Amino acid sequence: MVNTQLFQTLKGALLPAAKVLNAEQAPAYAFSPRHQLAQLAATGCLSQTFYANAEDQLDMVTALAQEVDAAFVAKTAIYARQSGHMKDMPALLAAGLAVRDVALLNQVFSRVVDNGKMLRNFVQILRSGAVGRKSLGTRPKKLVQHWLLTATEKQLLNAAVGNTPSLADVVKMVHPKPSEAWRAAWFAWLIGKPVDEAALPPITQSFERFKRESAQGVATDVPEVPFQMLTALELSSAQWAQIARTGSWQMVRQNLNTFARHGVFDIEGMAEVVAAKLSDPQAVAKARVMPYQLMAAFKATGEAVPQVVRDALQDAMEVALNNVPSFEGRVVVCPDVSGSMSSAVTGHRGSATSSVRCIDVAALVAAAVLRKNPQARVLPFEQDVVKLSLNARDSVMTNAQALAKIGGGGTNCSAPLAMLNRERASVDLLVLVSDNESWVDANRRGATQTLREWEVLKKRNPNARLVCIDIQPTVTTQAAERHDILNVGGFSDAVFTMVANFADGKIEAEHWVGEIEKVSLAAQ
């Protein structure tokens, strides 16, 4: 008689075997090359993470970009920049097109390289040789020249902040030939050539004048230049307050402690001015702020930053998460709080490493879903489900902080599903937020334990849907893609839109790759 333990009768559909290994050397499912590229483009920051170093990510992305068709690379670059708000990956994909298909690069360039920072990223990646060449080439050079010759004075000044390469380096590389006198004078000023100050555009003129007046101790109004151009000067608290009033939303968010250090909040009414700017719904939307950036600002604010300003960051968070949907039915959200989730969400970047960890972002997603779906269950997990009571009426920031405090332990992605099955719970939508590197529940053969538990849950809840959100670069999953399972990567608010469309049945079998395929390459 055969071993009935080994040859048990399978209930339901035959599940696919997990044929690859994840970073923990546990069985997993591999994404298709297109899905792998999409996943890396939406989550990868080309930095050291818990499971991958920057070089591995670069090698993987460049190889995948060669394997899939060039049109999909172009669409992924646009999606990663415009919906995912990424910087490094879209620039890398665009640089790859400069070698592979310059006609496609011409179509997508302005939608990917949409500011001076992205321009410098694109040039640096190309000249590094990482994509197979060290020169810009004729067409890419013309595209860079076009950006320089059409940017406004403010855009040029913002682009002038930063190095490797500096904007001056870029100008010397591509030799733009401006037809406007002010632009010719500005380029000469940028690269350090003698120039008649009267020929410079107005903001740059005011900056030169301000420098002279500051040296004489008579400067008053601060010019509207990037504040980094002013930090070497001796500024009064009133002048710093002017910078706070006129600065961009993102700049103000990033420099709250700087303003406190320079006495801005000691000036009557300035705390309220800054708070009003931070919580302005239109400004938040225009800034394309990621929710995790608000969490970073909130975590980083020192005691010298007034409470009204800290409260404004929480208000801004609520605004930034306005498009988190209310889901029909019974919702369960499961944030991974295991030890591997303690790494910085954008990877190790030296002094620029984010204070926000993967666990913070997972907690933020869970808290946001709970805020819009008060009846949702939140089941944080590591080796097992961790018991935690949350109040749906608390702010997103408060609940996210509570969740993020419980990190540690191994990764067991099937733990919350197993618990729901033991309870025989009813579920319509289950959202799993993890790095997908499950190993505690590893099986020697056959399907992953996550997929097995999901299949059991589906027997009771045939219309249930599973969403696996990955917030770190990876090319494997614990739940193979199919009509009721969505694997999506990223930590911008675009992910919530994707989940909503999937929950409503608006995304077809191709899921996320299909969404990227819908991106139009036609001129905008």
Q: What is the mean pLDDT of residues 447-475?
A: 93
388 pLDDT more than 80: yes
Q: Which residues pair with 429 in a beta bridge?
A: 331, 465
* Cβ(112)–Cβ(142) below 8 Å: no
Coil, helix or strand for 278? helix
240 pLDDT more than 60: yes
pLDDT at 189: 97
Quote the crossing angle between the two packed helices 138-150 and 167-174, to the nearest 10°: 120
Most confident range (mean pLDDT) of 292-301, 313-322, 381-390 is: 381-390
* Segment 61-73, tens digit of pLDDT: 999 999 999 999 9
* Cβ(75)–Cβ(44) below 8 Å: no
* Cβ(88)–Cβ(473) below 8 Å: no
CA 291 remoteness from chain centre: 9
More confident call, 286 vs 143? 143
Distances (CA, A) of 159 to 169, 190, 226, 257, 273: 12, 11, 9, 24, 27
More confident call, 475 vs 172? 172
Is 18 exposed, middle or buried (CB count within 10 Å of its CB: 0-12, 13-18, 19+)? buried
pLDDT at 45: 67
Confidence band of 477 (pLDDT split at 50, 70, 90): very high
* Segment 297-320, tens digit of pLDDT: 888 898 999 999 999 999 998 888
Query: pTM to 2 decimals?
Result: 0.85
Q: Domain residues of the chain, as ranges?
A: 20-26+329-517
Q: What is the mean pLDDT of residues 134-163?
A: 95
Most confident range (mean pLDDT) of 24-28, 170-174, 471-475, 496-500 is: 170-174
* Segment 175-218, tens digit of pLDDT: 999 999 999 999 999 999 999 999 999 999 999 999 988 888 77
50 pLDDT more than 80: no
Fold observed for domain 20-26+329-517: Rossmann fold (3.40.50)
* Cβ(130)–Cβ(62) below 8 Å: yes
pLDDT at 170: 97
Q: What is the mean pLDDT of the chain?
A: 89
Confidence band of 262 (pLDDT split at 50, 70, 90): very high
